[in-house]
Structure 1
Amino acid sequence: MGNGQLMIKGGRGVKTARKKTWGIVFLCLMMIVALVGCKESASVDNKGNPSSADDKKPFTFTYFNAGTSKKNIEANQTKIGKIFEEQTGVNVKMEFLVGDINTKIGTMIASGQYPDVLVPDIAIDKVLDAKAFIPLNDLIDKYAPNLKKLYGPYLEQLKAEDGKIYFLPFGVNHGYIPNPDIDQGAFWIQRRVLKEFGYPKIKTLDEYFDLIAKYKEKHPETDGKPTIGFTALTYDWRFFVISNPPAHLAGYPNDGEVIVDMKTHEAKVYGNGEYTKRWLKKLNEINAAGLFDKEAFVSNYDEYLAKIASGRVLGFFDYGWQVNQALNSLLQAGNDDLRYMPLPIVFDKNIKDQYIDPPSFASNRGIGITVSAKDPVRIIKYFDNMAKEENQKLMTWGIKGETYEVDEKGRFYRTPEQIKKTSDEQFREQFGFSYFEWYWPRGNGVFSDGNAWEPRRQPEVAQASYTEGDKKILAAYGAKVFSDLFAKPDERPWYPAWSAPIKQGSPAQIYQQKKQDLQRKYFPKLVLDPPSKFEKNWKEYVKEYNKLDIKAFEDEITKYVKMKVEQSQK
């Protein structure tokens, strides 16, 4: 009976149990399906990075770079871009600046239509004010572990006042290696000038121009055209090339429009001071002597580079990175006499030069994703893939066995053939160096294996790349590399002061704009008018300059400098 009762109860219990069992089985099946789905959509790659089944679907985003002029191209037409496409499924339609930067960016802002990704360069404040960039914080947190690693301790510094990160700068520091060659400021002089006079040691501005004058007198023509004693770049935003030299000549680095006191950390403008007057007076004198390029105030950037590459110019001041294309053209042409030697020229012999940059990180410009972007997640993942160390090496060094080698100690180097190949502009475009080595999320300094981030900073590459002419001129000046001729940089935790964030429409920004307009108006007169008019023009210029809100600008930069010094002491 007891058993019978149990059986009857058990029958109902079995039915109920079966229902529960099928319910559990069904639930388990659903969980398995869900887990499989999760694995499909949010698995990890073989390095533990989050990936997605959709990550490799073909996708193209648009990219506009206002910082440089290059041939428009699709990234997968280059070797580096093709590799990135194979890794991510993403291609990039790349467009570059033609014409005036402010006009181009202004048109974008007025229309509200932007490329997916934008490098606005000096117009970045306008882009930020227009709220054209989307915040990157959440995207980086969710999808970009490699970007987090690349930017590391600097992420806090990248935040705007509202705590949001709107763009990623280029060249974040990972240790410091000085460049064996000169990629920053210098007074460049044609090697034939030095050769003609037995490689004299010249240090001052007067000595520099005296030598150029002597040479031009003996050689008034180059290849049947008038030899140009000294030219200058004044085009568009690059006007700083003619306004910056006074600070360098006085023994200061490129802190932009100010000189920073090493003890008080106070920033002072020099555009209306004795250093600028002395510089412009010298240009006025050489113009009167027929040494200054009459077209300097009307030539555009391409015309300026072409003039230098022609071999007719005996001297100029500029930053190595900005004239590299012209210098490479002369290298490829093979006439060593027409190439240039960088010199740390100063006003007086007792001044210690500071042309070489100290360790720095400029966080006021970079690359951002715009409000027009179709798929910010795919874009940030593309950036993140780019931030992996092996891809950072691809962007700067290229491919082992093709554009660099590795010795038994793990040191990267380039053979003479690879150096020649990677200096050729056509190859650089086809491979992708021209398009990917800058203006993207990128580090600088030293890789985890001890190699330099940039080949040009690797001493083995620099010395192996020297021509017989390089070796001869270096030996004449008792140097192994060109930077040996320059003083070592003093420590400046704030450097560069020009990276201080200046709000659009603020008194400091209005000062900057008015100052630039004023200098564009007066510099041509100060240089090209007869020497008899110089003092009158200078007084008029200074009177107008002093009407500007100089204090607002100096206060803003001083605040930034002192904040950077304080951060460095923590």
Structure 2
Amino acid sequence: MAKRKPLIVILAVIMMVSILGACAKNNNNAGGSNDISANGADSQDKVTFTYFNANAGKDINTNETTIGKILEEQTGVNFKIEHLVGDANTKIGTMIAGNEYPDVLVPEGTIDKIVDAGAFIPLNDLIEEHAPNIKRVYEPYYNLMKAEDGNIYFLPLSAVIGEFIPAPNIEQGAFWVQRRVLKEYNYPKIKTLDEYLDLIRKYVADHPEEDLTGFLSLTTQDKFFAFTNAPMHLAGYPNDGGVIIDMETHEALDYGDEEMTKRWLKTLNGLNAEGLFDKSSFVDNYDQYLAKIASGKVLGFFDYRWQVGQSLNNLREAGNDDLDYMPLPIVFDENITDQYLEPPSFVNNRGIGITVSAEDPVRIIKFFNTLLEEENQILSNWGLEGETYEVDENGRFYRTPEQIKKTESEEFRESFGFKYFEYNWPRYGNGSTLESGNSHAANRQPEVAQASYSDGDRKLLEAYGVQTFSQLFAAPLDRPWYPAWSIPIEQGSPAQIFTQKKSDLQREYFPKMVLAPANDFEALWEEYYEEFNKLDVEVYEDTITEEVKKKIELVQGK
């Protein structure tokens, strides 16, 4: 036995050294990319997590893109991204019913259902222990991010870092008109809806052989707001959703039964009677809608730039400036000041979360943290120096004309990864600036905006006496609650039940009113108006009013 003691001692020493070495490695790497993750696997071991985005798109592995491959080299992490096919409520409802989720989820408008179902894990401790960059970016907004129980369940996509930079071009809503229409009539200055539609009428009449569509709308299940929001903008309000907020009293008014909605629907009813409205607007899916815009046959539509960007980019790539579109701040009447441009805001009911199905949330939160390193925010939005952007002697970022053309290509945006990493991840919000003073987003950098303009762009800007397209629009007024649509409404509450019933009612009646013979419009409106006012609209308005005032206090630090 005595002969075995040295061996036992040696083994004990070896085990102790191994344990101490492992502990030292763990301590030295705390918070770094080589940490031991929750399931014991070294974070440099390659891993693929699942990610579902409740928007339509092309499914892909992030490491199939240039940006995703670089991030995988840094972290060992790849994401298999699946996009929505069909209805978001149905898809998310199936997940909830089966209690089976992807590792990471961007549920868009169904986020309240996900939170209420307990599908997202709390992030507070994960951020505190493993994610200093997330804390740096989001901590100023914690009071707007925390649920009533004090937990943070998802990371919104709108945290503004640094000095706010307004967009030089239109990124949000507008009434769009084909440029050839403006060109044909010597670039008239139009402001009202009647002037806008009269121009379209005249062009269709002057080109009867071209089989043109005067006006098109988007009404698919999860994008019906593109149809119902128009009256709000025409009346001089920004996109607060289904309500307008009084600037003085901060009281909310649902405009579903207001004169502005009736006026919008009656206008479309008249367009339809003239054969200028595309009846298929109420049955086309999103892809069909985008295809029609890209076809060059549609003269006008209302929508948000981020929702039709694919079609507009395709038109620009095709190189026929006449078929491209011009955004206009159209309102009902001359005395109305438009409010299409968004003020600085924090959207706290959209974002990305880690689900209860994720087996390694530590590894995921560390990936999010890495993504928020400034050099990776530059990678996600500017790309690679010398390939997709340059830096001048003063440290200013810019793109050459060749780089601008390349980075506007949908094919390149997909392969490089801009299409997948510019949004729908923890990120610096729109309008943010980098530590260098450059814009976080390339398209908001003045040098890029100016250099990106085509000859057709410059001709339009010169004709209207502005340097950028956003200068045609009125400056946004300060709205500390903005946007009201980001206010969470509790599932099953009277306010939420109202919104669902209202949506069902409008989906039933709005197509009827637009497509009906002109003589039937008033009767249909009265019928709809009566049904609308049977709903508990006051409880919804009171809820939004109360929450708007709360949000103002939170924003103001009260």
Q: TM-score range by the shorter chain?
A: over 0.9
- Displacement, 1:32? 5.9
Aligned residue for 2:39?
none
Following superposition of structure 1 onto structure 2, how do residues 450-461 of structure 1 map, counting pairs within 5 Å? 450-461=437-448
Aligned residue for 1:271?
256
Aligned residue for 2:121?
134
Q: Quick one: which amino acid aligns to residue 287 of structure 1?
A: N
Contact 2:33–2:43 (Cα < 8 Å) also in 1: no
Contact 2:134–2:368 (Cα < 8 Å) also in 1: yes
Counterpart of 1:52 (choices 20, 27, 35) is 35
- Displacement, 1:569? 3.4
Q: Deviations over 1:378-397 (max 9, x none)?
A: 11111111111111111111
Aligned residue for 2:468?
481
Helix, strand or coil: the match of 1:69? Answer: coil
Following superposition of structure 1 onto structure 2, how do residues 317-396 of structure 1 map, counting pairs within 5 Å? 317-396=302-381
In structure 1, C-alpha distance between the alignment counterparts of 2:29 and 2:117, rounded to whole Å: 37
- Displacement, 1:407? 1.1
Aligned residue pair count: 541
The more displaced of 95-104 and 346-355 is 95-104
Q: Confirm whether residue 493 of structure 1 aligns to residue 476 of structure 2.
A: no
Aligned residue for 1:181?
169
Following superposition of structure 1 onto structure 2, how do residues 131-530 of structure 1 map, counting pairs within 5 Å? 131-174=118-161, 175-222=163-210, 226-444=211-429, 445-530=432-517
Q: Quick one: which amino acid aligns to residue 535 of structure 2?
A: L
In structure 2, C-alpha distance between the alignment counterparts of 1:414 and 1:431, rounded to whole Å: 16
In structure 1, C-alpha distance between the alignment counterparts of 2:390 and 2:139, rounded to whole Å: 29
In structure 1, C-alpha distance between the alignment counterparts of 2:373 and 2:20, rounded to whole Å: 29
Helix, strand or coil: the match of 1:42? Answer: helix
Contact 1:50–1:143 (Cα < 8 Å) also in 2: no
Contact 1:405–1:412 (Cα < 8 Å) also in 2: yes
Q: Deviations over 1:340-385 (max 9, x none)?
A: 1100001111111000000011010111111111211111111111
Q: Quick one: which amino acid aligns to residue 493 of structure 1?
A: P
- Displacement, 1:515? 0.6
Contact 1:284–1:529 (Cα < 8 Å) also in 2: yes
TM-score where L is the length of structure 1: 0.92
Contact 1:42–1:50 (Cα < 8 Å) also in 2: no
Contact 2:33–2:44 (Cα < 8 Å) also in 1: no
Q: Quick one: which amino acid aligns to residue 109 of structure 1?
A: I
In structure 1, C-alpha distance between the alignment counterparts of 2:366 and 2:89, rounded to whole Å: 30
Q: Deviations over 1:141-186 (max 9, x none)?
A: 1111111111121123211111111111112112321111101110
Q: Quick one: which amino acid aligns to residue 271 of structure 1?
A: G
Q: Confirm whether residue 75 of structure 1 aligns to residue 58 of structure 2.
A: no
Contact 2:400–2:451 (Cα < 8 Å) also in 1: yes
Helix, strand or coil: the match of 1:63? Answer: strand
**Gap regions ≥5 residues in structure 1:** 1-22
In structure 1, C-alpha distance between the alignment counterparts of 2:362 and 2:171, rounded to whole Å: 36
Helix, strand or coil: the match of 1:155? Answer: helix
In structure 1, C-alpha distance between the alignment counterparts of 2:554 and 2:87, rounded to whole Å: 37
Helix, strand or coil: the match of 1:510? Answer: helix
Helix, strand or coil: the match of 2:96? Answer: helix
Q: Quick one: which amino acid aligns to residue 318 of structure 1?
A: D
Q: Quick one: which amino acid aligns to residue 79 of structure 1?
A: T
In structure 2, C-alpha distance between the alignment counterparts of 1:486 and 1:31, rounded to whole Å: 70
In structure 1, C-alpha distance between the alignment counterparts of 2:403 and 2:283, rounded to whole Å: 38
Q: Quick one: which amino acid aligns to residue 161 of structure 1?
A: E
- Displacement, 1:255? 0.4
Helix, strand or coil: the match of 2:28? Answer: coil
Q: Deviations over 1:449-501 (max 9, x none)?
A: 11111111111111100100000011011011100100000000000010001
The more displaced of 107-116 and 268-277 is 107-116
Q: Quick one: which amino acid aligns to residue 465 of structure 1?
A: S
In structure 2, C-alpha distance between the alignment counterparts of 1:42 and 1:221, rounded to whole Å: 75
Contact 1:330–1:339 (Cα < 8 Å) also in 2: yes
Q: Alignment identity in percent? A: 63
Q: Quick one: which amino acid aligns to residue 125 of structure 1?
A: D
Q: Quick one: which amino acid aligns to residue 86 of structure 2?
A: G
In structure 1, C-alpha distance between the alignment counterparts of 2:351 and 2:286, rounded to whole Å: 22
TM-score where L is the length of structure 2: 0.94
Change (3 A) 1:118 1:208: same
- Displacement, 1:505? 0.6
Aligned residue for 1:532?
519
Contact 2:33–2:74 (Cα < 8 Å) also in 1: no
In structure 1, C-alpha distance between the alignment counterparts of 2:203 and 2:265, rounded to whole Å: 22
Aligned residue for 2:85?
98
Helix, strand or coil: the match of 2:43? Answer: helix
CA RMSD of aligned residues (A): 1.7
Q: Quick one: which amino acid aligns to residue 144 of structure 1?
A: A
Change (3 A) 1:383 1:568: closer
- Displacement, 1:412? 0.9
Q: Quick one: which amino acid aligns to residue 367 of structure 2?
A: Y
Q: Deviations over 1:398-422 (max 9, x none)?
A: 1111111111111111111111111
Aligned residue for 2:75?
88
In structure 1, C-alpha distance between the alignment counterparts of 2:550 and 2:209, rounded to whole Å: 53
Contact 1:43–1:51 (Cα < 8 Å) also in 2: no
Helix, strand or coil: the match of 1:315? Answer: strand
In structure 2, C-alpha distance between the alignment counterparts of 1:56 and 1:155, rounded to whole Å: 31
Q: Confirm whether residue 567 of structure 1 aligns to residue 550 of structure 2.
A: no
- Displacement, 1:90? 1.1
In structure 2, C-alpha distance between the alignment counterparts of 1:89 and 1:557, rounded to whole Å: 44
In structure 1, C-alpha distance between the alignment counterparts of 2:498 and 2:92, rounded to whole Å: 21
Aligned residue for 1:6?
none
In structure 2, C-alpha distance between the alignment counterparts of 1:214 and 1:193, rounded to whole Å: 9
Change (3 A) 1:89 1:50: closer
Contact 2:181–2:299 (Cα < 8 Å) also in 1: yes
Helix, strand or coil: the match of 1:342? Answer: strand
Aligned residue for 1:14?
none
Aligned residue for 1:10?
none
In structure 2, C-alpha distance between the alignment counterparts of 1:504 and 1:152, rounded to whole Å: 27
Helix, strand or coil: the match of 1:271? Answer: helix
Contact 2:143–2:554 (Cα < 8 Å) also in 1: no
Q: Quick one: which amino acid aligns to residue 334 of structure 1?
A: G
- Displacement, 1:27? 11
- Displacement, 1:525? 0.9
Contact 2:181–2:203 (Cα < 8 Å) also in 1: yes
- Displacement, 1:41? 2.3
Q: Deviations over 1:171-216 (max 9, x none)?
A: 2112321111101110001111111111110000000111100000
Counterpart of 2:101 (choices 111, 114, 129) is 114
Q: Quick one: which amino acid aligns to residue 284 of structure 1?
A: N
Helix, strand or coil: the match of 2:80? Answer: strand
- Displacement, 1:42? 3.2
Q: Quick one: which amino acid aligns to residue 446 of structure 2?
A: P
In structure 1, C-alpha distance between the alignment counterparts of 2:534 and 2:459, rounded to whole Å: 52
In structure 1, C-alpha distance between the alignment counterparts of 2:349 and 2:539, rounded to whole Å: 19
In structure 1, C-alpha distance between the alignment counterparts of 2:50 and 2:158, rounded to whole Å: 22
Helix, strand or coil: the match of 1:560? Answer: helix
Q: Quick one: which amino acid aligns to residue 92 of structure 2?
A: I
